[in-house]
Amino acid sequence: MERQRLIFHIDVNSAFLSWESVYRLEQDPGGTDLRTIPSAVGGDTKSRHGVVLAKSPLAKKAGVTTGEPLASALRKCPGLAIVPVRFGLYQKCSKQLAALLENYSPTIEKFSIDEAFLDMTETIHLFGEPAQTADQIRRRIREELKFTANIGISSNKLLAKMASDFEKPDKTHTLFPEEIPDKMWPLPLQELFFVGPSAADKLRRIGLYTIGDVARCDERVLKAHLGSKFGTMVCRYANGTDDSPVAGHEPANKGYGNSITLPRDVSDYETACQVLLALSETVGARLREDNICCSCICVELKDWQFSTQSHQLTLDAPTSSTAVIYQNACRLLREFWDLTPVRLIGLRTSRTADSSYEQISLFESSQSRKMKELEKAVDKIRGKYGIDSIKRASFLKEDSLVDHAVSKKKHLTPCTQERNSEDQAP
């Protein structure tokens, strides 16, 4: 008989703040644990620019929210301790978590820097009951890695992720199909994965307030108000339906991309190009890390009215160069943007291929070759000493809208994600 699927979703509690706290206590065992005081990770502590990427429980109690400007957070909580972002450290902690999880299943999908799915269907018999196994994993994370995580258990990825968002921190929760009416349907509809403020507002206007309301609603009504594709997906999710597999390995032809919701609307090329530079840095570094080149670049904008537009181009030759990606992204921006204020800027690459088989160009200049070597050297330095060990001068300005390193996001399905991980820039 075919076994019922068993999926674990592991979600680190206040990841960036927890990892920063662990690091600081390792350096100074007698120091203050950031998790025990009103504190937040994000932005520039001197200029107080940027947004909150993670906050402590006491900061949350004071009204501080993930994604809000630091200036606003400080007004709510004047004594808020702000610490800078340290992506190199977070990547190291994320890898340590992945190494621990590999002891339980070979099928692991890294959903974001602080989240992962485990397909335990074929391995659970080696460890015992699902809840006991999840508790064991949490205990090992707490004792060996010194931070905590929630674990959600179900028969599919959607319900496992929903379960991990229940009471925090350091808890195990189940949400199997038979538990949906009691555990999921009474929740506010905005708690449903992929239902953001805009979609929630549309649903409330037609009298839907809980996930259960949406689940019982005629799919045709949802499609009429949310669009055919998104309406169908929301209907399926509200009923706990999701058949997406735990993807143990990224497909070879998968595109690489990143986007960021800005702390304020942008309406000038100079600022928008600086954001594209930050995105190009992270996308280019990921391409080089995986020995991948791209042949297509796409820039996406979402304006202040939430309207989305994009433009793309095909390169003359495949590349993984940050400089080439950035130059072409800026070119695209000038071609299609009319300076309407934008709240989100995204950069995507596609038509990817293994760079081991990259064709050598007869027309490549010595300057281009030197740039490739420079980018490889920067990658090596950041890999050894952390992402903040070297940065471009343009990101040292006090009025810089974004940091030079923008954390990456990943989607449960190929749709556009409205909701963000607790510890990621929205």
Q: What are the catalytic residues?
A: 115
CA distance 326 to 319: 11
Three-state SS sequence of the chain: CCCCCCEEEEEECCHHHHHHHHHHHHHCCCCCCHHHCCEEECCCCCCCCCECCEECHHHHHCCCCCCCEHHHHHHHCCCCEEECCCHHHHHHHHHHHHHHHCCCCCCEEEEECCEEEEECCCCHHHCCCHHHHHHHHHHHHHHHHCCCEEEEEECCHHHHHHHHCCCCCCCEEECCHHHHHHHCCCCEHHHCCCCCHHHHHHHHHCCCCEHHHHHHCCHHHHHHHHCHHHHHHHHHHHCCCCCCCCCCCCCCCCCEEEEEEEEEEECCHHHHHHHHHHHHHHHHHHHHHCCEEEEEEEEEEEECCCCEEEEEEEEEEEECCHHHHHHHHHHHHHHHCCCCCEEEEEEEEECCEEHHHCCCCCCCCHHHHHHHHHHHHHHHHHHHHCHHHCCCHHHHCCCCCCCCCCCCCCCCCCCCCCCCCCCCCC
308 forms beta bridges with 302
In sequence order, which residues have a C-beta less than 8 Å from that of residue 229 and are 6 or more positions away? Answer: 415
Burial class of residue 11, CB neighbours in 10 A (0-12, 13-18, 19+): buried
Cβ–Cβ < 8 Å for 141, 101? no
Q: Enter the tokens of residue 199.
A: 């979609």
Q: Are strands 115-119 and 292-303 parallel, antiparallel or unpaired?
A: unpaired
Residues 6 or more apart from 129 whose CB is under 8 A from it?
none
Report how far residue 131's alpha carbon sits from residue 64's, in angstroms, rounded to the nearest whole number.
32
